[in-house]
């Protein structure tokens, strides 16, 4: 096992014209400056999954579909995750929830951080993600990034985040890497 932590940055929107790609690019640009972990973008647009079609609950780990097995292989190789989600109807995107629900053991005893965007900075989507992460035994860090469509986007579509988000991103990465490293020892 390499000493360098591997963190997956999951872009949880596949919508045409999505704002999430610019947010993910911003997160990845800051992540590239990190020395304790390697960050890799996982764009759900590159991993099309049908609506959950596994007959056996994910907690059993008995995946039947080749698409599920391929998705499990992608997620399993990371020590932690940054989930990037829009806020749709006071929650996360359907495509992100679907991708999360496909798996169970691959998420266990790993670390998670949350980045969201929306009218209220995606705060309600993050709160939903915290509950989901807890059920999956994903240790989620306190620091989050919340981007407002009103103040961090020009015309609701051009990402132009306020400067104060840089310090918050550093705190998020610090917390995530700390927990990801600690939980690596739990997984053995």
Residue 60 confidence (pLDDT) above 90: yes
Residue 7 confidence (pLDDT) above 60: yes
pLDDT, tens digit (0-9, with 9 covering 90-100), for 149-179: 999 999 999 999 999 999 999 999 999 999 9
Pairwise CA distance, residues 55 & 170, whole Å: 41
pLDDT, tens digit (0-9, with 9 covering 90-100), for 28-58: 999 999 999 999 999 999 999 999 999 999 9
Q: What is the mean pLDDT of residues 118-144?
A: 97
For residue 58, give the CATH number of its domain: 3.40.50.360
pLDDT given for residue 61 in this prediction:
95
Pairwise CA distance, residues 102 & 106, whole Å: 10
Q: 90 is in which domain, residue-wise?
A: 5-187
Q: How many domains does the structure of the chain reveal?
A: 1
> How far apart, in Å, do the first and last CA atoms of the chain sit?
10
Residue 72 confidence (pLDDT) above 90: yes
Token reading at 180 = 């990801």
Residue 1 confidence (pLDDT) above 60: no
Q: How confident is the model at residue 99 (pLDDT cuts 50, 70, 90)?
A: very high
Token reading at 146 = 């919340």
Q: What is the 3-state secondary structure (H, E, C) of 134-160?
A: HHCCEEEEEEEEEEECCCCEECCCEEC
Instruction: Tell the residue number behind the tokens 């610090």, with chain if given.
Output: 174
Mean pLDDT of the chain: 97
């Amino acid at each position: 096992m390499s000493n360098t932590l591997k963190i997956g940055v999951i872009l949880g929107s596949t919508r045409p014209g999505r704002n999430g790609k610019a947010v993910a690019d911003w997160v990845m640009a800051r992540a590239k400056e990190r020395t304790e972990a390697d960050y890799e973008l996982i764009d759900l647009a590159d991993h099309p999954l049908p609506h959950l079609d596994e007959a056996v609950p994910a907690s059993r780990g008995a995946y039947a579909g080749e698409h599920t097995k391929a998705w499990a292989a992608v997620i399993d190789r990371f020590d932690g995750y940054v989930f990037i989600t829009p806020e749709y109807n006071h929650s996360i995107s359907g495509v992100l929830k679907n991708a999360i629900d496909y798996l169970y053991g691959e998420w266990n005893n790993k670390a998670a951080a949350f980045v969201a965007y929306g009218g209220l900075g995606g705060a309600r989507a993050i709160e939903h993600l915290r509950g989901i992460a807890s059920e999956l035994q994903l240790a989620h860090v306190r620091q989050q990034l919340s981007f407002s469509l009103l103040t961090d986007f020009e015309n609701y579509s051009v990402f132009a985040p306020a400067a104060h988000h840089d310090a918050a991103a550093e705190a998020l990465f610090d917390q995530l890497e700390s927990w990801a490293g600690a939980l690596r020892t739990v997984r053995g």
